[in-house]
Amino acid sequence: MTLGPPLLACNVHATTLEFTLLVAFGSLLAGLLGSLTGLGGGVIIVPFLTLLFHVDIRYAIGASLVSVIATSSGAAAAYLREGYSNMRVGMLLEVATSIGAICGAYLATRIPTGAIAVVFGLVLLYSAWTSVKPIPDVSAGESPDPLAQGLRLDGTYPTPEGLIEYHVRHVPAGFVLMYLAGALSGLLGIGSGAVKVLAMDRAMRIPFKVSTTTSNFMIGVTAAASAGIYLHRGYIDPGLAMPVMLGVAAGALSGARILPGAKVRTLRIAFGAALAAIAMQMIYQGMGGKI
């Protein structure tokens, strides 16, 4: 049995079963890494499908959006139960990401695939840089933000020493960055966790584990806002999206169990190095018209 018509762009000689198993296994690893870092499995899924299997990038993006929803659904419940995610922050910022996602998905169906690949590579390079850059410490003496206090965005998160309180700051800057994150999600089929974590880590001064888990909580809504446009355009193929979704969901659940005891710095460095290598390949293939 060979691959169906929607995947004729795939140049790999494989049966449907072999293709499905390979995609599911790769998706499991992507979901695991995406859950642990808050970047979302899409940053691995799209290059994995386009570079290794030569799937048309728009079908890869459509499958990735489905997987991003699965990642968020798989990890969000576990993180909420553990007390890491800040739901009030997530629900506020989802307004900006959803609007941006619709705008990005609209653009994605109207620009060349090579250009999408180059933009994707640049976003991966940025994601790699944010993964290895040290996170500035939040000053305990810094005064709370009146807007964040008015919206009741401050919260606590669990540590071995007990609950630690934190204050959310610079809400307008975070809102603007979240619109950009949503636009990248719709355009590239990723959770755009790098920009989300940037907004919460750097701009809003939220602790890393809270930023990571809240990002996982948000990315499903962001992806769902743009997935409808890809579905309408015919770029979501069930034969590709199903193994991607199942693999990513399994990986996300595993990542949620590992995160509380993970060494964050080591994880970020290893993941950043892998992203940088993938990014260079995406840019090279995109500029050469091979995607």
Model confidence pLDDT, tens digit, residues 91-147: 899 899 889 888 888 887 788 888 888 888 888 787 777 666 655 545 444 566 788
Tokens of 101: 């996602």
C-alpha Rg value of the chain to the nearest Å: 18
Query: Distance between CA atoms of 258 and 291, rounded to whole angstroms?
Result: 35
| Cα 93 → chain centroid | 15
Q: How many CB atoms lie within 10 A of CB 264?
A: 14
Query: Distance between CA atoms of 17 and 1, rounded to whole angstroms?
Result: 8
pLDDT (tens digit, 9 = 90+) per residue, 131-168?
A: 666 555 454 445 667 888 888 888 888 877 788 888 88
| Alpha-carbon separation of residue 148 from 92, 139, 177 (angstroms) | 11, 16, 16
Contact predicate 214/171, CB 8 Å: no
pLDDT (0 to 100) of residue 139: 45
pLDDT (0 to 100) of residue 243: 92
Query: Distance between CA atoms of 229 and 62, rounded to whole angstroms?
Result: 9
Please state the pTM of the whole predicted model. 0.71
Which residue in the block uniquely carries the two structure tokens 């993964």? 131
Query: Distance between CA atoms of 211 and 166, rounded to whole angstroms?
Result: 12
Query: Distance between CA atoms of 70 and 86, rounded to whole angstroms?
Result: 19
3-state secondary structure of 51: helix
pLDDT (0 to 100) of residue 8: 45
pLDDT (0 to 100) of residue 231: 86
User: ∠ at Cα 184 (209, 291), nearest 5°?
Assistant: 120
Query: Distance between CA atoms of 202 and 168, rounded to whole angstroms?
Result: 11
Q: Which residues contact 249 (CB under 8 A, 6 or more apart)?
A: 31, 67, 70, 71, 73, 74
Q: What is the residue type of 62? A: G
Q: Which residues contact 159 (CB under 8 A, 6 or more apart)?
A: none
H-only helix segments in the chain: 16-37, 42-47, 57-82, 87-108, 113-132, 146-150, 171-188, 193-198, 208-233, 238-258, 264-287
Tokens of 164: 């630690």
3-state secondary structure of 248: helix
Residues of the chain with pLDDT under 70: 1-14, 35, 37-41, 70-78, 130-144, 191-194, 256, 259-265, 267-268, 290-291
Angle (deg, nearest 10), helices 87-108 and 171-188: 40
pLDDT (0 to 100) of residue 291: 65
Tokens of 36: 């642990």
Whose CA is closest to 138, among 166, 103, 176? 166
